[in-house]
Structure 1
Amino acid sequence: MFKNGDIIAIEKLLNIKGHNGYSPCRSCEIKGVRKISTQGTNYYTPLKTPRRENQTRQSYHPLNLPLRTHEGFVSVLEELDATVTKRQRERIAKEHGVKGEPSLRRVNSIDYANCAPWEWMHLFLENIIPQLVDLWTGRYKMLDVGSEDYELAPHIWEEIGAETAAAVNKIPAAFVRVLGNIAVDKSSFTAEAWSFWFIHIAPIVLRNRFPRLKYYTHMCKLISLMKTSIKLEITTQEINSLEQGFAEWVREFER
Structure 2
Amino acid sequence: MRNDEQCRRIADHVIETGDDHAAKKYGIKGPCSLSELSTIDIPRSFPPDAMHLWWENVIPDLVRHWRGKFTTSAQVETVESLIADDIDTNDGPDNQPSQRLPSNSRRCKTTPAKTNTDGKKFVKTNDEYNIPPDQWLQIGKDMAKSSITFPSSFGEPIRDFAEHCQHLKAAEWRNFSLLMAPIYMKNRLPEEDYTEFANLIDALHLACNYTITEAEILVVEERLKRFVIYYERRYYCRLWDKLSSCLPVIHQVLHVAQAIRWAGPMYVYSQWPMERVCGIIAASAKSRVSANRNMGITIVLQEQRNHLPYVIPAHPDGDLNDEIEDDDGAVLLHRLFGRRLAHKDIPSKSLLTMNKSSGTMGLPKKQGALGAWHRRALQTFLSNRFNNVVPLDSTPKNCVRWASFSSGVRGLAKKTFTIVSTHMRRTNSTRSSSMIRYEFETDVGMRYSGYGEVIFFFSVADEDMNLLRQYEPRVHVGDDEREHASRNFAYIQTFNVELEDRLLLKTGLGRKEVIQVDQIVDLIGLMINEGREYIVSRFTCLF
Do the aligned residues in 1 keep the contact of 2:12 with 2:31 (CA within 8 Å)?
no
Which residue number corresponds to residue 125 of structure 1?
55
Question: How far apart are the structure 2 equivalents of 1:71 and 1:147?
Answer: 48
**What residue ranges of structure 2 are gaps of 5+ in the alignment?**
75-123, 234-543
Question: How far apart are the structure 1 equivalents of 2:46 and 2:140?
Answer: 36
Do the aligned residues in 2 keep the contact of 1:162 with 1:181 (CA within 8 Å)?
yes
Which residue number corresponds to residue 17 of structure 1?
none
Q: Measure how far apart 1:157 and its partner are.
A: 1.2
Which residue number corresponds to residue 234 of structure 1?
212
Do the aligned residues in 1 keep the contact of 2:8 with 2:31 (CA within 8 Å)?
no
Which residue number corresponds to residue 245 of structure 1?
223
Q: Deviations over 1:200-226 (max 9, x none)?
A: 11111111012x211111111111111
How does 1:20-31 map onto structure 2 within 5 Å? none
Question: How far apart are the structure 1 equivalents of 2:171 and 2:13?
Answer: 43
Aligned identity (percent) is 28
How does 1:203-242 map onto structure 2 within 5 Å? 203-210=182-189, 212-242=190-220
CA-atom RMSD, angstroms? 2.0
- Asked if 1:193 is matched to 2:123, the reply is no
TM-score (norm 2): 0.32
Question: How far apart are the structure 2 equivalents of 1:134 and 1:188?
Answer: 13
TM-score (norm 1): 0.67
Q: Which contiguous aligned blocks of 4+ residues in structure 1 show a shift greater than 3 angstroms?
A: 143-148
Question: How far apart are the structure 2 equivalents of 1:92 and 1:234?
Answer: 38
Letter in 2 for 1:109: T
Do the aligned residues in 2 keep the contact of 1:136 with 1:151 (CA within 8 Å)?
yes
How does 1:4-153 map onto structure 2 within 5 Å? 67-83=1-17, 86=18, 89-142=19-72, 148-153=127-132
Q: Measure how far apart 1:109 and its partner are.
A: 2.6
Q: Measure how far apart 1:110 and its partner are.
A: 1.3
Which of structures 1 and 2 has the larger relative contact order (alpha carbons within 8 angstroms, sep 6+)?
1
Question: How far apart are the structure 1 equivalents of 2:131 and 2:166?
Answer: 20
Question: How far apart are the structure 1 equivalents of 2:71 and 2:157?
Answer: 29
Q: Measure how far apart 1:154 and its partner are.
A: 0.9
**What residue ranges of structure 1 are gaps of 5+ in the alignment?**
1-66
Q: Deviations over 1:125-168 (max 9, x none)?
A: 11111111111011114266998411001111111111122223
Question: How far apart are the structure 1 equivalents of 2:32 and 2:181?
Answer: 41
Question: How far apart are the structure 2 equivalents of 1:128 and 1:173?
Answer: 26
Alignment CA distance shift 1:163-1:94 (3 Å): same
Question: How far apart are the structure 2 equivalents of 1:77 and 1:198?
Answer: 38
Which residue number corresponds to residue 140 of structure 2?
161
Question: How far apart are the structure 2 equivalents of 1:120 and 1:185?
Answer: 22
SS at match of 2:162: coil
SS at match of 2:152: coil
Alignment CA distance shift 1:143-1:249 (3 Å): farther
Question: How far apart are the structure 1 equivalents of 2:16 and 2:156?
Answer: 55
Do the aligned residues in 2 keep the contact of 1:125 with 1:195 (CA within 8 Å)?
yes
SS at match of 1:105: helix
Which residue number corresponds to residue 29 of structure 1?
none
Do the aligned residues in 1 keep the contact of 2:155 with 2:175 (CA within 8 Å)?
yes
Q: 1 or 2, which has the higher strand percentage?
A: 2
Give the number of the structure whose alpha-carbon radius of gyration is greater: 2
Letter in 1 for 2:144: A
Alignment CA distance shift 1:78-1:174 (3 Å): closer
SS at match of 2:161: coil
